[in-house]
Amino acid sequence: MVDHLLGLKEGVKSALLEVYGHEVQIEDIVLQLTKKEFNGDYTLVVFPYTKVLRSKPELIAEKLGAHIVESLDIVSSFNVIKGFLNFELSTAYWIDTLSQINAIDDIGRFPSNGQKVSVEFSSPNTNKPLHLGHIRNILLGWSTSQILQTAGYDVVNTQIINDRGIAICKSMLAWDKFAAGAEPQSTGTKGDHFVGQYYIEFENRFRQEYLEWQESKAADMVFKSRDKKDLDKPEFFKSYKNEYFNEHSALGREAKAMLLKWEANDPEVRSLWAKMNGWVYDGFNQTYSDLGVSFDTLYYESDTYLLGKDIIRQGLDSDNFYRKEDGSVWVDLTDRGLDNKILLRSDGTSVYMTQDLGTAQKRYDDLETSKMIYVVADEQDYHFQVLFEIMKKLETPFASGMYHLSYGMVDLPSGRMKSREGRVVDADDLIVEVIGEVEKAAKERGELTELTETERKEIYRKIGLSALKFFILKVNPQKRMTFNPEESVDMQGQTGPYIQNAYVRIQSVKRRLNDQTFDEIADYAEIDPTEIEILKSLITYEEEILKAAEHYDPSGIANYSYELAKKYHKFYHDVRILKAETKAAKSFRLMLSHNVAKVLKHSMHLLGIEMPERM
RNA sequence: GGUUCCGUAGCUCAGCUGGAUAGAGCAACUGACUUCUAAUCAGUAGGUCGCAGGUUCGAAUCCUGCCGGGAUCACCA
Which tens digit of pLDDT belongs to each residue from A234-293? 778 877 888 889 888 999 999 999 999 999 999 999 999 999 999 999 999 999 999 999
| Å from the A231 CA to the B16 C1' | 47
| Å from the A383 CA to the B72 C1' | 9
Name the amino acid, one letter, at A99: S
Same domain, A84 and A169: no
Same domain, A170 and A70: no
**Nearest in space to A85 (alpha carbons), one of A111, A70, A105, A63:** A63
- Please identify, among A270, A295, A320, the residue that sits at the C-terminal boundary of a domain: A295
Number of domains present in the structure of chain A:
3
**Residue A59: CB less than 7 A from any atom in strand B:** no
Residue A220: per-residue pLDDT: 86
pLDDT of A230 above 70: no
Same domain, A179 and A39: no
Residue A516: per-residue pLDDT: 62
Same domain, A171 and A82: no
- Could you tell me which residues are beta bridge partners of residue A158? A120, A297
**A504 closest-nt by C1' vs CA:** B37
Residue nearest to nucleotide B17 (CA to C1'): A30
**Residue A484: CB less than 7 A from any atom in strand B:** yes
pLDDT of A378 above 80: yes
* N-terminal to C-terminal alpha carbon distance within chain A: 33
| Å from the A561 CA to the B13 C1' | 15
Same domain, A84 and A176: no
Domain containing residue A600: CATH number: 1.10.730.10
Residue A294 φ then ψ, to 5°: -150, 165
Residue A501: per-residue pLDDT: 97
Cα separation, A218 vs A240, whole angstroms: 13
Same domain, A447 and A574: yes
| Å from the A278 CA to the B41 C1' | 52
| Å from the A256 CA to the B75 C1' | 18
**Residue A178: CB less than 7 A from any atom in strand B:** no
Same domain, A442 and A529: yes
Which tens digit of pLDDT belongs to each residue from A135-144? 999 999 999 9
Looking at per-residue confidence, does A583 or A292 come out higher? A292
| Å from the A29 CA to the B56 C1' | 20
Rg (C-alpha) for chain A, rounded Å, is: 30
Residue A517: per-residue pLDDT: 67
Domain residues for A79? 6-89
Residue A285 burial (C-beta neighbours within 10 Å; 0-12, 13-18, 19+): middle
SS3 state at A300: strand
Q: What is the DSSP letter of A26?
A: G
Nucleotides of B under 7 A from a protein CB: 2-7, 11-16, 19-21, 23-27, 36-42, 57-58, 70-77
**Residue A168: CB less than 7 A from any atom in strand B:** no
**A378 closest-nt by C1' vs CA:** B71
The answer to whether A87 and A42 are in contact (CB under 8 A) is: yes
Residue A383 φ then ψ, to 5°: -55, -45
Considering only residues 412-471 of protein chain A, which place a Cβ less than 7 A from any atom of strand B?
Answer: 416, 438, 441-442, 445, 447, 459, 463
Same domain, A53 and A187: no
Which tens digit of pLDDT belongs to each residue from A493-507? 999 999 999 999 999
**A568 closest-nt by C1' vs CA:** B40
Residue A323: per-residue pLDDT: 93
**A350 closest-nt by C1' vs CA:** B75
Does residue A491 belong to any structural domain of this protein?
A: yes
Cα separation, A504 vs A72, whole angstroms: 39
Give pTM, 2 decimals: 0.95
Residue A228: per-residue pLDDT: 61
**Residue A40: CB less than 7 A from any atom in strand B:** yes
Which tens digit of pLDDT belongs to each residue from A301-334? 999 988 899 999 999 999 999 999 899 999 999 8
- Could you tell me which residues are beta bridge partners of residue A330? A322, A342
Residue A35 φ then ψ, to 5°: -60, 150
Give the number of other CB atoms < 10 A from CB of residue A459: 21
**Per-chain mean pLDDT for chain A:** 92
Which tens digit of pLDDT belongs to each residue from A421-462? 778 899 999 999 999 999 999 988 887 888 899 999 999 999
Name the amino acid, one letter, at A275: K
**Residue A542: CB less than 7 A from any atom in strand B:** no
Does residue A462 belong to any structural domain of this protein?
A: yes
Detail the DSSP E strand segments found in A18-135: 31-33, 42-45, 75-81, 84-89, 116-120
Report the complex ipTM: 0.96
Cα separation, A285 vs A178, whole angstroms: 26
Residue A247: per-residue pLDDT: 85
| Å from the A559 CA to the B13 C1' | 10
Residue A586 φ then ψ, to 5°: -65, -45
Same domain, A179 and A281: yes
Residue A430: per-residue pLDDT: 95
| Å from the A476 CA to the B42 C1' | 30
Considering only residues 571-610 of protein chain A, which place a Cβ less than 7 A from any atom of strand B?
Answer: 572-579
- Please identify, among A55, A89, A123, the residue that sits at the C-terminal boundary of a domain: A89
**A379 closest-nt by C1' vs CA:** B71
| Å from the A465 CA to the B13 C1' | 20
Does residue A144 belong to any structural domain of this protein?
A: no
- Please identify, among A89, A113, A130, the residue that sits at the C-terminal boundary of a domain: A89
SS3 state at A426: strand
Alpha-carbon A114 to chain mean position:
23
**A346 closest-nt by C1' vs CA:** B75
Q: What is the DSSP letter of A106?
A: T
Same domain, A568 and A457: yes
**Nearest in space to A557 (alpha carbons), one of A491, A469, A461:** A469
Does residue A474 belong to any structural domain of this protein?
A: yes
DSSP calls for A221-255: HHHHT-S-TT--HHHHHHHTHHHHHHHT-HHHHHH
| Å from the A474 CA to the B10 C1' | 22
Considering only residues 228-267 of protein chain A, which place a Cβ less than 7 A from any atom of strand B?
Answer: none
**Residue A56: CB less than 7 A from any atom in strand B:** no
Same domain, A170 and A85: no
| Å from the A529 CA to the B43 C1' | 19
**A543 closest-nt by C1' vs CA:** B17
